[in-house]
Chain A
């Protein structure tokens, strides 16, 4: 039985595809010039991850070890093409914004990595859930990175959100700094690297702080335990390790 809570924590934070595994940096840096682009790319990737994990998991018993990689790539490329065609036909406005990036999803190594390391060994339900959670974790990073770059680079947030989500979401489109001249570096790919670096450092800092706190809590517990013991007990057992 798969531990769904752990899958969720791994996918979104603890084993985040970008922040921890450092995968998929190419599409990440290419599309995150605005938060809206990041969100669109993230959702499209999530859909593909979900479908590819499900299909790989369903076929895991007939796929032989020797040819599994070409089979995975074949499956992923087919799913991406199906999504591309479907979006072009039925969500044409969205496709105009994201169309350029959809074929890039094939080369997104997160999808192959999840197929190889998770979906090919787990039940269909667990694999689909893992695809969804990994995708959401990826989307989260894309939106944060896109938002940071957009705010610093052009002084707006979620510009053209209505194109992606429909007119009901045009309230997301905020101009934070009126008359801001823009900071070109953040919009160019090099700015993406810079922002990503700070994001990675931030995640590391949070992890270290959590580690320190846990170590501190463990030390306190140990001290309390020693304080609670009588001298004789210490003589007999030695200090609790």
Chain B
């Protein structure tokens, strides 16, 4: 013990101790990361699959959505991935019947991630919020588990609604806002509308019209 006290007095002891512990902690973290990375990726893929199943019913396609993807160039507001946004295509008998992709709306407290799917005819199949940080009890009514507000989007398209109708009622549109929360539904409506416009702009690529896909 006396020996240790003497060593402790040396000035080099402190940086050596801090460095040593940093080294051990770093090594532990690297090991933990390596040990859990696969698991976490798997869980996240499961989450993605689950959110895709919510917007694209299992009965409308016969392929694996995760396996049939294209990455399209997209504005930053669509994805946090610089390389572009990933579009998941649902096929039946080789033909694309619907496509699902993620859009991001800026809500009251940060990004709202939305998974939406559009049928080949340009109408919305389903919309689900997959991640958000809106006020509990107010803004979280956009979740399908809380209210059925989000189901209002199904069947809408750029063709059957005018630009003015793509707004919350407060702004003269046809979507309900929630009492005490207007910013959240406004952000969702705007994001979904943008998503539809994006689908139309890239319809040919998304629907794989040029060449049949193997």
Contacts and interface: CB of A to CB of B under 8 A. Distances in A.
Interface of A: 33-34, 59, 61-64, 66-67, 70-71, 74-75, 77-78, 81-82, 85-86, 88-90, 92, 96, 100, 153-154, 182, 184, 187-188
Interface string B127-160: 0000001011110000000000000000000000
Contact of A184 (B17, B40, B137): B137
Nearest to B138: A184
Interface of B: 4, 8, 13-15, 17-18, 21-22, 25, 28-29, 32-33, 35-36, 39-40, 43, 46-47, 133, 135-138, 180
B137 A182 contact: yes
A74 B39 contact: no
B43 A34 contact: no
Given A75-B25, A81-B29, A187-B138, A61 B39 contact: no
Given A63-B17, A70-B18, A187-B137, A85 B32 contact: yes
Nearest to A153: B137
Interface of B is mostly: helix
B13 A89 contact: no
A74 B18 contact: yes
B153 to A, nearest CB: 24
A184 B36 contact: no
A75 B136 CA distance: 33
Contacts of A59: 21
B171 to A, nearest CB: 22
27 contacts: A33-B136, A59-B21, A62-B4, A62-B17, A64-B8, A64-B14, A64-B17, A67-B15, A71-B17, A71-B18, A74-B18, A78-B28, A78-B29, A82-B29, A85-B32, A86-B32, A88-B40, A89-B36, A89-B39, A90-B39, A92-B43, A96-B47, A153-B137, A154-B136, A184-B137, A187-B136, A188-B135
